Structure 1
Amino acid sequence: MSPTPAALRFGYGTNGLADLRLDDALALLADLGYDGVGLTLDHMHLDPLAPDLADRTRRVAHRLDALGLEVTVETGARYVLDPRRKHGPSLLDADPEDRARRTDLLLRAVRVAADLGAHAVHCFSGVTPPGTDRDTAWKRLTESLTPVLDAAGAAGVPLAVEPEPGHLLATLADFHRLRRLLGDPEHLGLTLDIGHCQCLEPLPPADCVRAAAPWLRHVQIEDMRRGVHEHLPFGDGEIDFPPVLEALAATGYRGLTVVELPRHSHAGPHHADLSLSFLRRAASFPRRAATCEGSSR
């Protein structure tokens, strides 16, 4: 029997609202009518390395509850661990102490997610360092993620790994390789970025949604063009969104579908407003091509 179609719940990522204080960003999303937020742990939004993390997390939890916002915790901050290396250090670095720093960040994210009642914790593998063979990189990845998965299981929070263009784990096929290497742990799930499907997956995005459904724990969404890893406002790329959203609803997915526009913070409130209007319209008219009305062309 097919799953009952779910009412999709839309969120917006705080990495696309980096110029706003977190309280202001959350209030904006609630006022616009979003169901939730993809909360990136970063120095400007719930810094995971600053003192009193538990107390600050508790205040954010109260704020989310007061605004009626759901949350997924994201860990893609660019310079949160190293002011000189974007997304560094990674789970694949040669130095075990550097890998341990990234693992520690993910362990902190699991605790934050548990305290917030989040749907999932998002993460990615990182880029394979120069001179590192793939077998070694996969070994480092599985070893680095093992304690995180243990913590996620104890906390009851899924860890949702994202295939990221250019990373060791770049595709859905790579996610399944990780799953097999780890022994298919219960709390290992998938973050599916719809734009990334358009960018490099062999299947169309709607088919990617259906193929990923059993492992789907978090969804990111934006427009994109084939072969170009550039997150675009809706209508500026090539994706036909109504079939994608129809497929997502048909899977019974219950988490957030979060708009991911990290390079558009300079106009974050504008894009947040237009994005929700676009998604609601696209979700209301399945099997019809989405128009560019309401996009940022």
Structure 2
Amino acid sequence: MSPRSPGHPTGPRFGYGTNGLTDLRLDDALHLLADLGYDGVGLTLDHMHLDPTAPDLVGRTRQVATKLRALGLSVTVETGGRYVLDPRRKHGPALLDADPEDRAVRIRLLTTAVRVAADLGAHAVHCFSGTAPAGTDEDTAWQRLADALTPVLDAAGRAGIPLAVEPEPGHLLSRLSGFHRLRELLGDPAGLGLTLDIGHCQCLEDASPADCVRAAAPWLRHVQIEDMRRGVHEHLPFGAGEIDFPPVLDALAATGYQGLTVVELPRHSHAGPQLAEESLHFLRRATQTAAAADPQNSTLTTPGGHI
């Protein structure tokens, strides 16, 4: 295939998360997404895709950067690998662990992700708070989180890469209000941004997903998107949940968000190639519907032309 220019001048820029393509080699996944017409990729650092703990990370990152440029794909670096650090503890060690040495392991992963992101030319590095150990009082947990993220923010600032924290159901930082609590604890640093997962908004927030987009706009650095039901944290293919997507895409366009909007289906790798194709068709149709409903929004165009 011939390489494409990264992104589109107007309208949403769609990506697909490699955590939903774990049955594919990374090169195969990138070629698939480029062939389908995606603008970019949410690259989860994990043992199957650009393992951050394996030898010669710099050389392997250079190869991936070359491939991304050849395919015309933008990238966000994501750090949600379930067992990348501990084969027996999901998302462990965590930023909120009682043992400072355990917290340091997670901090090192995030600072490594910042270096990888800089070498790839990524537009953001994603992370999340994790869960606090049982018996940890709330103030202690929040202070641990702020202290742990300080060196990561310093590294991100030196690299010129925004750090985009994701509110995650079940974690200490689970809602948009938690992001603002963290922001205030840290003194509102310029490099601290937000990853907004549209499904999580449907799951937990009082406001609609479209209203969440508008409220988050000043801090929005990365967007994940999938379907979901109210009160149930289960990432679903588009059409299997409750979200009305045209208003969400309209809100994203109206805010001027320029980053990737990445499909997040981490439990559907068995059908990854099929769902990647179906997801892009769905999002393009939803973009057309949003544009027809809001002709005043000149930024809403259909990526990749007609379907």
1:288 Cα deviation after fit: 7.8
Cα offset, 1:129, TM superposition? 1.0
Verify: 1:235 aligned to 2:239, yes or no.
Answer: yes
Distance in 2 of aligned mates of 1:129 and 1:287: 46
Describe the SS at the equivalent of 1:106.
Answer: helix
Name the SS for the 2:189 alignment partner: coil
Give 2:105's aligned residue. Answer: 101
Aligned counterpart, 2:227: 223
| Cα offset, 1:286, TM superposition | 1.2
In structure 2, distance between residues paired with 1:288 and 1:123: 35
Q: Distance in 1 between matches of 2:77 and 2:276?
A: 18
Query: CA shift at 1:225, angstroms?
Result: 0.2
Conserved 8 A contact 1:6-1:252: no
Tell me which amino acid in the other structure corresponds to 2:66.
H
Unaligned regions of 5+ residues in structure 2, if any?
1-8, 294-307
Distance 1:246 1:252 in 2: 10
Residue in structure 2 matched with residue 55 of structure 1 by the alignment: 59
* Alignment-mate amino acid for residue 219 of structure 1: V
For residue 262 of structure 1, what is the aligned residue in structure 2? 266
Q: Which residue of 2 aligns with 1:212?
A: 216
Residue in 1 that maps onto 2:32: 28
**Deviation of the 1:7 alpha carbon:** 1.1
* 1:277 CA displacement: 0.2
Aligned to 1:292: none
2:136 match: 132
Q: 1:130 to 1:288 in 2, by over 3 A?
A: farther
State the 4+ residue runs in structure 1 displaced beyond 3 angstroms.
Answer: none
Deviations 1:43-80 (A, max 9, x none): 00000011110110000000000000000000000000
Question: Which of these residues, 182, 192, 196, is aligned with residue 188 of structure 1?
Answer: 192
CA-to-partner distance for each residue in 1:157-189, whole Å, 9 max, x for gaps?
Answer: 000000000000000000000000000001000
Letter in 2 for 1:41: L
8 A Cα contact 1:206 1:243, kept in partner = yes
Matched residue, 1:244: 248
- Separation in 1, partners of 2:16, 2:84: 20
Contact 1:6–1:251 (Cα < 8 Å) also in 2: no
CA contact (8 A) 1:72 1:121 kept: yes
Cross-structure match for 2:158: 154
Q: CA RMSD in A?
A: 1.1
What SS is found at the alignment partner of 1:262?
Answer: coil
Please state whether the residue corresponding to 1:79 is helix, strand or coil: coil
CA contact (8 A) 1:242 1:288 kept: no
Q: Percent identity?
A: 81
Contact 1:6 1:250 in 2 (8 A): no
Aligned length, in residue pairs: 285
User: What residue is the counterpart of 1:295 in the other structure?
Assistant: none
1:18 pairs, out of 11, 14, 22, with 22
Q: 1:9 aligns with which of 7, 10, 13?
A: 13
Tell me if 1:43 matches 2:47: yes
Q: C-alpha separation between the residues in 2 aligned to 1:6 and 1:66?
A: 22
Q: Would you say 1:200 and 2:204 are equivalent positions?
A: yes
Residue matched to 1:170: 174
Query: CA–CA distance in 2 between the matches of 1:87 and 1:267?
Result: 24
Q: Distance in 1 between matches of 2:58 and 2:13?
A: 27
Cα distance in structure 1, aligned partners of 2:277 and 2:98: 43
